[in-house]
Chain A
């Protein structure tokens, strides 16, 4: 069964491992990507996440869950962290963490919100804000597959809702990949401020966006929706209204505030 194919095995109980920050990249004014070296990292599936734990000098600990942003590169992994106001863990990771610093990580974990290359059929990805992170891992994983096997992978369509142009995470890479790859379509939905020349009026994601840039339900796409709770609820309801089978809609919620 496919379940047994998870590198590292799903049967492994997860323990905390030491991870060293080797690189940080600014993605937006409030989000950055951290590349971590994790000795003994067992590999992971696109969409899985890990927990990061910080320990204060007085022993106080705080742990938070972050999506893995890319397929593993040996023992190097990437997470993209969106800073949240008063975030105990994110404010350190986005603001203070420097190469050479270490944190503890536990993972990979999660088996529900994952995409595997052997899955058949088209894929619809719908992201709200930093909900794009696990979906980017799927896009990057698929690109590896199509490059190495020289076969056409599943067709992906991404609808990515952001407040404004400066909030687009992975902007350049998404545009490049969409240009290079005919089987990948990327559409931005702006909720508060749109770049010049954008024909769509600003506003929250709507039925029209999903009809124009998603897949018809008859094509039976697998739908992955990730974002704040309100966003995920709205998009799931719209997809079901459009006739998509609820069992093919996978969701991941994080945080109460909408983009």
Chain B
């Protein structure tokens, strides 16, 4: 699928699969695009999917930021399009 095709979904739709592996709600995290430097919430990524997997692209430049494929015995997660993730944490998280 090329970036010219309109993404049918956004990062909100990846919240379920991501909740299998992340201990916190991660669609509110802000990812920085390795390509153009745009920072955006995962929820706002342009997402293609859900089958056979999800591809999330940068709202700024359409670079691929995340790929996620769930197979019966594994979850494949490629975050190489991002140079960082800022994950909001409750202020008391360190104490728990």
B25 touches A10 (CB 8 A): yes
CA distance A151 to B6 in the complex (A): 43
B24 & A11 in contact (Cβ 8 Å cutoff): yes
How many chain A residues touch the partner (CB < 8 A)? 30
Check if A106 sits within 8 Å of B7, measured CB to CB: no
| Candidate in B7, B16, B21, B88 with the most chain A CB atoms within 10 angstroms | B16
A-B contact count (CB 8 A): 86
What residues on A are CB-neighbors of B43 within 8 Å? 110-113, 252
Among B16, B17, B41, contact of A112 (Cβ-Cβ < 8 Å): B41
Known: A14-B19, A106-B19, A109-B19. A1 touches B90 (CB 8 A): yes
Beta-carbon contact of B10 and A14 below 8 Å: no
Q: Hey, which chain B residues are within 8 Å of A107, CB to CB?
A: 16
- Alpha-carbon gap, A1 to B91, bound state (A): 7
Q: Which residues of A contact B90 (CB under 8 A)?
A: 1, 3-4
A4-B90, A110-B25 given; A253·B19 CB < 8 A = no
Most chain B CB atoms below 10 A, which of A4, A15, A107, A112: A112
Closest to B27 in A: A112
**Complex interface bits, B4-31 against A, C-beta within 8 A gives 1, otherwise 0:** 0011111111011101111111011000
- A64 adjacent to chain B (CB < 8 Å): yes
Contact with A along B58-96 (1 / 0, CB 8 A): 000000000000000000000000000000101110000
A111 near B50 with CB under 8 A, answer no
A45: shortest Cβ distance to chain B, in Å?
Answer: 10
Contact A14 B16 (CB under 8 A): yes
The total of chain B residues at the interface (CB under 8 A) is 30
Residue of A nearest to B10 (CB): A253
At the interface, yes or no: A49 with Cβ under 8 Å from chain B?
Answer: yes
Task: Report the separation of the CA atoms of residues A223 and B51 in the bound assembly, to the nearest whole angstrom.
Answer: 30
- Docked pose: A230 CA to B46 CA in angstroms: 12
Q: Are B12 and A49 in contact, CB atoms less than 8 angstroms apart?
A: yes
> Nearest B residue to A64 by beta-carbon distance?
B50
Whether the Cβ atoms of A229 and B25 lie closer than 8 Å is no
A251 touches B19 (CB 8 A): no
Contact: B7 with A229, CB < 8 Å? yes
Instruction: Check B13–A254 contact: CB distance below 8 A.
Output: yes
B residues in contact with A254, CB < 8 Å: 8-9, 13
In the complex, besides A11-B23, A109-B15, A110-B15, 4 extra interface pairs with C-beta distance below 8 angstroms are A110-B43, A111-B28, A253-B12, A256-B8
Q: Sample 26 A-B pairs with CB under 8 A, ordered by A number.
A: A1-B91, A3-B25, A4-B90, A13-B19, A15-B20, A49-B12, A63-B50, A107-B16, A109-B16, A109-B19, A110-B27, A111-B25, A112-B11, A112-B27, A112-B42, A112-B43, A112-B44, A113-B12, A229-B6, A229-B9, A230-B6, A252-B12, A253-B8, A253-B9, A254-B8, A256-B8
Chain B contacts to A: CB under 8 angstroms: 6-13, 15-17, 19-25, 27-28, 41-44, 50-51, 88, 90-92
Closest 5 CB pairs of A and B: A112-B43, A109-B15, A51-B16, A111-B25, A14-B19
